[in-house]
Amino acid sequence: MFKAGYITHAQISGQTKSPASSLTINVQNTFNGARRRISSLRPSTLPIFNTKPSLVASIALPCLPSQRCRWLHMCLKKPSYATKLEPLHVCKDEEEKDFTDATFFRVLRRAYFGSKSLQEKLLFKLRKIEFVEFELCPENLVDHILPDKYPPTLDEYDFLPPPPLKKCPPIGTSHMMHLFTSCSAQPLNTNLYLRHIPKRREQALSFQPDLVDAITGWGLHFVESLNSALAVTVMFAVSLVLGIVFAICWCIWRQDIQGAFGVASYVTSVITLAAMTWQMWAF
């Protein structure tokens, strides 16, 4: 008997046998035999795939936006007259731990000074931090800033104690500046002051041009003023160095002490006016 799939001479009985037909039969038989040998090498069962759960699906998110994420609205001054909104994400610290008063004010300091250029750090000085109500304008600019204001409800903002408040602001301006400058250096593991600061739930405030009413928000306003100490320091250092150097050189060259300090006084006056002019134009 012949295996299935092969063409036999009996199948072509009654037909005229020719060399061409014999060659065709041989080629077909060779092809069918090769195909059956390849089929016999395949495994009889389906391959078993790894059914272990995905690692990505088992990793928990550090925070869920609807539960833990909070946004602090920082109103920062920008030259020359603008005030801009800079949202600060308040969720976890650098070590993925809950914020304490010390770690929060450390991050707040880094966010404030990180938004300033070197020129702004030299020319302006932080005077106080206020709890404010503001209106958001295009390009994240802020207008109509009202100090000592707090959110009326807990619908969008998270803070304690809930309204109505017995005192506003909950943290005085002088004490707020003390916390901003010194709290990050103290080992405070509480969140006594952090819970008083209003933080927006889910996402930061964003401008929407299709709204008819003004977009109102609450946060912290960093009030700055011109750093007059810089101008005084520059005038004192330059006047002292140049005045003394010029007086000594004039005395040695001209042998005239009175004339030397007379010219040095003139140079000091010019330097004073130049430093004040530079500071006024820079503002």
Residue 9: band (very low, low, confident or very high) from pLDDT cuts 50, 70, 90: very low
**Burial level of 142, CB count in 10 A (0-12/13-18/19+)?**
buried
Would you state the pLDDT for residue 144? 93
Kindly list the domain boundaries of the chain, sorted by start residue: 70-226, 230-282
Nearest Cα residue to 86 out of 96, 76, 100, 95:
76
**Residue range 26-34: mean pLDDT, rounded:** 62
Sequential DSSP letters for 136-187: E-GGGBEEEEEES---SSSSSEE-SSPSSPSSSSSS-HHHHHHHHHHGGGS-
Would you state the pLDDT for residue 111? 93
Tens-place pLDDT, residues 110-163: 999 999 988 888 888 899 999 999 999 988 999 999 999 999 999 999 998 888
Would you state the pLDDT for residue 36? 64
Mean pLDDT of the chain: 76
Tens-place pLDDT, residues 221-271: 999 988 877 777 877 887 778 778 877 887 888 777 777 777 777 777 787
Under DSSP, the state recorded for 20 is H
